[in-house]
Amino acid sequence: MFGAHSQQGYQVALAGIERKTLVHGEKTLMVEFRLKQGSVLPRHAHPHEQTGYLVSGRLRLAIGDEVRDLAAGDAWCIAGGVEHGAEVLEDALAVEVFAPVREDYLP
């Protein structure tokens, strides 16, 4: 499967947070997130392992009891079932991979 660059296909996840599934396979799914400064991703958990890379901007990411301020080039991994959330410190672009595939994120 290939994914072509396009400005279409974004969905509002929360106020100030948009997501777009870029590509998926049998076991993984890759998503691009556009995040606006000041938006908040409330703490939550899901069974999927989640790895991410911050392409641009700055985030304050909480994973379990640990909180880190992240800048472009930083990456993370969140084990399935671990509570996490984020504050967007400046407009940001992140790419994340979920395993297994998040059925709710399929296009």
Q: What is the CATH number of the domain that holds 92?
A: 2.60.120.10
Entry pTM: 0.94
- Average pLDDT over every residue of 31-46: 98
Average pLDDT score over residue span 37-59: 98
The whole domain housing 79 covers 11-102
The answer to whether residue 5 sits within a structural domain is no
Residue 1 pLDDT grade (very low, low, confident, very high; cuts 50, 70, 90): confident
Average pLDDT over residues 70-92: 98
Asked if the model's pLDDT at residue 25 lies above 90, the reply is yes
Residues 5-16 have pLDDT tens digits of 999 999 999 999
Whether 1 is in a domain gets the answer no
- Interior CA angle at 46 toward 58 and 69, to 5°? 20
| Within a domain: 3 | no
Q: Cα–Cα distance between 50 and 13 in angstroms, integer?
A: 17
Whether 6 is covered by a domain: the verdict is no
Determine, yes or no, domain membership for 107.
no
Q: Domain count of the chain?
A: 1
Helix (H) or strand (E) holding 68: strand 66-71
DSSP helix/strand/coil, 103: helix
Whether residue 2 lies inside any domain: the answer is no
